[in-house]
Amino acid sequence: MDAFFRTQRLTVGYNGIPLIKDIDIQLDKGQILSLIGPNGSGKSTILKSITNYLKSICGTVYIDNRCLDDMNNRDLSYEVSVVLTEKLKTELMTCEDVVATGRYPYTGMLGILSPTDHVKVRDAMELVNVWELRDRDFTEISDGQRQRILLARAICQEPRIIVLDEPTSFLDVRYQLELLNILRTMAKERDITVIMSLHELDLAQKVSDLVMCVKGEFVTRFGSPKEIFKKEIISELYELSNGSYNPLFGSFEMQRPCGAAKVFVIAGGGTGIYEYRALQKKQIPFVTGILHDNDIDYQVAQDLASEVFCEESFTKIRQEIYDRALKRLSSCDTVIHCLNRYGEINEKNRQLYQEALSLGLRVIPSADIM
Amino acid sequence: MKDELIKKRLRYAAVLVIFLILFTLLLLLNIILGSVDVRISDIVKILFGQGGNTTDQGIIWKVRLPRTMAAVLLGGALSLSGFLLQTFFNNPIAGPYVLGISSGAKLTVAIYMVMMFSRTHVVGSYALIIAAFLGAMLSMGFVLLMARTVRSASMLIVSGVMIGYICSAITDFIVTFADDASIVNLHNWSRGSFSGVSWQDVQVMAVVVLFTSAVVFLLSKPIGAYQLGESYAQNMGVNIKAFRITLVLLSSILSACVTAFAGPISFVGIAVPHLVKSFLKTSKPLLVIPICFLGGAIFCLGCDLISRTLFSPLELSISSVTAVIGAPIVISILLRKKVRG
């Protein structure tokens, strides 16, 4: 069976000049697709083309096996509703008025709302928690509230697909989470398909069923978050040269300090992350160890430390690794000692600490006092 | 929620009632007052076709009534035209006069009049409207071209004003070199005035204006969608291309009709829609369109009354009066809204 929403070799662009070629999307009902990629890569262009605002250059879009070219704006308005980035200039319209425009395709000749329409407007507004804003002027509310009003508008149009262009920009974390929660709920409960562009990679990773990387002439990748959110893929997509991406955390680390490391950080179990970042801010290169490769410190150490002494997970630190670490430690002048307890498998770190003391190195508990 | 709804409805009803009272009052005053005193009892008799002397009958039936009707119809048309243009350009100070559309219509009407006067001394009402419509479309075309290149709202207005100046200059040029007889006619008309309107003219304008306004009213729904911007309107199922063309045509027909019969009249198209919206506290076209028409009629009835009676028997041009009242309103819009760009 064909997917509910699919594009076939879709090529999009402006004024007949192709920008992105051969886009193939397959989406089932109730799935969430996020478009990620650098600024100006053409995410909005793709969104405009699948909502027919921009004529696609070639290729086709199918919604429930109907070709987009065979549908007029009216047909499409029952299928797809949008939340756009462009600022809405309204005049003397209350929030409720704005949401009610979503009922447009369902009202009669003069656009008068029926009691059912009013109920649906209210439902949509309650779903996104903006019912109390109903009598406020749309121009007088905050950006975050405005975004939610526009989402309510899109919802009460009762589409089968909602397209959102960067819905989380201007929103603070709380509203970002709330908005994505609403989308998730709608996708699950009402079987609505969601297609959106997102800048927040961590959120895209958590909310999406499918992710598309948009950059340059072709769509570089299309797949599940598990397939897409990998160090190399994201670094390549955003051409990261001054920082790095951690797929487990979904977060970014700043650039590794360069130069010869004279600082050794003895860490483990999350005690090191703060110190690593503090050293990075002061641009002091450092080495660290001895970490197990399943240690949370290891995730950040990889990106920030000049060298990481590491042992396989769940095993006792072996002598050879300890010897190497000790050799490196003795060439440093400062040791930052973060650990305050030791277990069976990292006992060797205590020895390392005692060696540092007996070597007469400067041993401090935190990078803050450097 | 119910309270808000009732409050809103009360407000709409109050505005409507006040407007209707004003309208009736001004309508009566326009018939009663004038440079020649006709007693009210006589006017009533004349209106009901029972006597009165022939001079008075002539004044009421041939001068004041058609003139009043013209003020009603053309005032309504002007303010609707302004409302459409404001919607189209998403610009609160757009209007047929500032965008040069009235001046474009004035130019073609002047050319047409000069050509016809030299031959027949008779100008057909419909032919006048068609001439004015062509001129309006000409200016509109220029403005649309400008709107493509300049994206800022104020630059659009400036280019509209420039087009207006060019058209007025050419009109002056034509008037200067025209025959003596037609100059008189043209001069009076080109300053803007409701005077000299015949019942035949009123008939023609009633057909054109009422029909066009009805179409505008029936388009309330897409106009409302368009107020949110093109992309959203399209998402609601509006055929944008066709709708844009319709808006341009309708607003041009309305302002052409006004210019054909009364010459260019300034600021009504901006001031009235703005006042109506702020009285109603909504921009819902379903309400704004009919009230705008009524408001335009009231505004022009009032201004015409002032222009006729203030220095009677001397008559001011209607544009001078509408400008004195309308321009401050436009300035207040500018101050309050800080028109972007």
pTM for the full model?
Answer: 0.87
Look at residue B97 and give its three-state secondary structure. Answer: coil
Q: Is residue B180 very low, low, confident or very high in pLDDT (cuts 50, 70, 90)?
A: low
pLDDT band of residue B341 (cuts 50, 70, 90) is very low
Instruction: Tell me which amino acid residue A107 is.
Output: T
pLDDT confidence bin for B174, thresholds 50/70/90: confident
The answer to whether A78 and A122 are in contact (CB under 8 A) is no
Nearest neighbour of A105 by CB, restricted to B227, B236, B240 = B236
Chain A residue closest to B230 (CA)? A53
| A184 burial type by CB count under 10 A (0-12 exposed, 13-18 middle, 19+ buried) | middle
Res B339 pLDDT > 60: no
What angle in degrees, to the nearest 10, is found between the helix axes of B180-190 and B101-117?
A: 160
DSSP secondary structure of A57-118:
SEEEEEETTEEGGG--HHHHHHHEEEE-SSPP--SS-BHHHHHHGGGGGGS-TT-PPPHHHH
B196 CA to chain A: closest CA distance, Å? 38
The reported pLDDT for the residue numbered B1 is 54
Within chain A, what is the greatest distance between any pair of CA atoms?
Answer: 89
- Is A111's CB within 8 Å of B224's CB? yes
Q: How far apart are CA B214 and CA B225, in angstroms?
A: 18
Contacts of B240 in chain A (CB under 8 A): 73
Q: What angle do CA A300, A302, A308 make, to 5 degrees?
A: 115
Can you give the pLDDT at residue B82? Answer: 95
Enumerate the domain spans of chain B: 2-340
B125 CA to centre of own chain = 17
Within a 10 A sphere around the Cβ of A359, how many other Cβ atoms? 13
The per-residue pLDDT for range A240-254, each reduced to its tens digit, is 888 888 888 888 889
Q: Buried (b) or exposed (e) across B329-341, using 16+ Cβ within 10 A?
A: bbeebeeeeeeee
The answer to whether A138 touches A88, Cβ cutoff 8 Å, is yes
Q: What is the pLDDT of residue B334?
A: 79
* B225 chain-A contacts, CB cut-off 8 A: 101, 104
CB contact under 8 A, B286 and A101: no
CA dist., res. A274 & res. A282, Å (int): 13
Q: Which of A73, A80, A102 sits opposite B238 (nearest CB)?
A: A73
CB contact under 8 A, A72 and B277: no
Nearest CA in chain A to B227: A90
Per residue in B223-278, pLDDT (tens digit) is: 999 999 888 999 999 999 899 999 999 999 999 999 988 888 888 999 999 999 99
B330–chain A nearest CA distance, Å: 16
CB contacts, 8 Å: B4 with chain A: 134-135
Number of helices (H), then strands (E), in chain A: 13, 17
Residues of B whose CB is below 8 A from A136 = none
* Cβ–Cβ below 8 Å for A97 and B284: yes
How many CB pairs below 8 A link A and B? 83
Cβ B1–A109 below 8 Å, yes or no? Answer: no
With pLDDT > 90 as the criterion, what percentage of chain B qualifies?
50
Tell me how far apart the alpha carbons of residues A93 and A212 are, in angstroms, rounded to a whole number: 37
| pLDDT-wise least confident of A133-137, A188-192, B174-178 | B174-178
Average pLDDT rounded to a whole number, residues B100-108 = 92
Tens of pLDDT, residues B299-322? 999 999 999 888 877 888 888 899
Give me the pLDDT at residue A149, please: 93
More confident residue, A235 or B123: A235
* Preceding peptide of B313 cis, ω within 30°: yes
Return the residue of A nearest to B279 by Cα. A92
Q: Does any CB of chain A come closer than 8 Å to the CB of residue B234?
A: yes
A157 at B interface, C-beta within 8 A: yes
Given an 8 Å threshold on Cβ–Cβ distance, is B221 in contact with A109?
yes
Residue reference for tokens 């399943």: A294
Tell me whether residues A157 and B236 touch, CB distance under 8 A. Answer: yes
Q: Give the residue, A81 or A143, on which the prediction is more confident.
A: A81
Which CATH code, of 3.90.1170.40, 3.40.50.1820, 1.10.3470.10, 1.10.3210.10, is assigned to B2-340?
1.10.3470.10
Structure-block tokens of residue A25: 């999307």
* pLDDT average, residue stretch B209-235: 94
Instruction: Tell me, yes or no, if B311 comes closer than 8 A to chain A by beta carbon.
Output: no
**Of residues B202, B183, B162, B163, the one with CA closest to residue B110:** B183
**Average pLDDT score over residue span A282-310:** 92
Q: What is the pLDDT of residues A5-60, one digit of tens each?
A: 999 889 998 888 888 888 889 999 999 999 999 888 889 899 999 988 888 888 89
Is there a contact between A73 and B227 if contact means CB atoms under 8 Å apart? no
Per-window interface: B 199-218 vs A, CB < 8 A: 218
The per-residue pLDDT for B187 is 66
